[in-house]
Amino acid sequence: MKRISRCLLRMVTILAWLACLGAFSAAASASPTTELLVKLSPQELEDGARALSARSIEGWTPVGVPGWLRVRVPEQQLERVRARLEHTPGVLAVHTDHPVRVALVPDDTYWPSQWALAKINAPDAWDLTTGRVEVVIAVLDTGMELSHPDLSGQVWVNPGETPGNGIDDDANGKVDDLHGWQFLEIGESSNVSDDYGHGTHVSGIIAAAGNNGTGVAGMAWGSRLMVVKVLDNEGNGRYSDVAAGLVYAADNGAQVINVSLGGDEDLPVLRDAVDYARARGALIVAAAGNYCRGQYVLFPAAYGNTIAVAASDRDDRLAYSSCRGPEVDLTAPGESVYSTCLGGGYCSSSGTSMAAPHVSGLAALIWSHHPEYAPGQVRHTMWVTAEALQEPYTGWGRIDAGRALSLELYVLHFPSITRGADP
């Protein structure tokens, strides 16, 4: 009987004190408050609740989970109240309540067709960031349709250039390179318009304007696209042009370089350009290639200091057309990917060319959320948060954007990782 009385008295004291705090909080409603969640032992809760009802004490509310109560506390008293409760007999736990939110689902017209972004949990990542304009992704491809309604506002603008004045204002050797540069056999120029369509589709996957009520959403629509045209109107180009494009992108501030192309040969000029861009702090994401004979990956994806990307399907299986091999770092959706097309339209396309830009977009999101990260930390974040697949040659697995953005990378060194050295 004495034990019950002591228990009852202690419980009345605890909850009456909480009620006083609640009343104080209501009286000072102009002051910021925080809700504490308090868990009581079953016996104390039962006895205390009866006593509170008998004494008409108010100001606390049950959470709806057995044993838990909620009380609002003035922020300036939060730590004092928490400390007192944590040292009170009969109180099993004290926590601050936290907000939750819905995962951002964009209102773009064709979002229901974008299975790939849903598969990699992009909406969960978008709750944290949709990208920052300071993060620039260079797209080495066939150019871009600059007038496309989902891309026109997504293009990088060279801050050192005055458009159309015929002068190399930033002294980088390129006249009027406002949005990028063209490296083709027919000659160099500032004309980066897409006359094939491949680059426009890739660009949309990375950063098509999102949540704008029309078209599609890109992975990192808050970031910007540097257009580096290295492929012609038939989708063909030269190693030397790709190499020059890599150097240009790195020199002009691209943090991520998407290379949805490849070749069979390991040429020193391409290797040197990759090394140069990496030394300048750029992260190079490259498509593994399509319909390779045997188990190998195209260059530059085969280099250890790039991120080689294979293509997966809706069921997380390696796409039939995807090249494969031990060089693969990550897998991303690459079948029937819906994105921007020439003529202001939208269409589906397949291949590792469509898989790589998902990874480039994710890298941009990570860098937007963690601008302090080094390239190696961005790369490792994508590696360790990937969803492991059952098939061989899928690298660390299929990327998971939501998981990658929620990771706080405290361990920055991975001794077991041997493919490519990262700063």
CA distances (Å), origin 293, targets 76, 244, 322, 329, 355:
67, 28, 10, 19, 19
Please tell me the distance from the alpha carbon of residue 256 to that of residue 260, in angstroms, as a whole number: 13
Query: Among 276, 191, 178, which residue's Cα sits nearest to residue 229?
Result: 191
Query: Among 362, 335, 332, 321, which residue's Cα sits nearest to residue 113?
Result: 335
Catalytic residue among 179, 198, 201, 380: 198
CA angle 82, 83, 89 (to 5 degrees): 100
Is 141 a known active-site residue?
Answer: yes
Please tell me the distance from the alpha carbon of residue 192 to that of residue 225, in angstroms, as a whole number: 12
Catalytic residue among 25, 312, 353, 360: 353
Is 232 a known active-site residue?
Answer: no
Query: Among 220, 282, 274, which residue's Cα sits nearest to residue 254?
Result: 282
CA distances (Å), origin 254, targets 142, 170, 313, 373, 404:
18, 16, 29, 15, 21
Is 176 a known active-site residue?
Answer: no
**Alpha-carbon radius of gyration of the chain:** 28
Catalytic residue among 141, 150, 241, 400: 141
Cross-strand bridge partners of residue 299: 263
To which residue do tokens 């801050």 refer? Answer: 159
**Catalytic positions:** 141, 198, 353
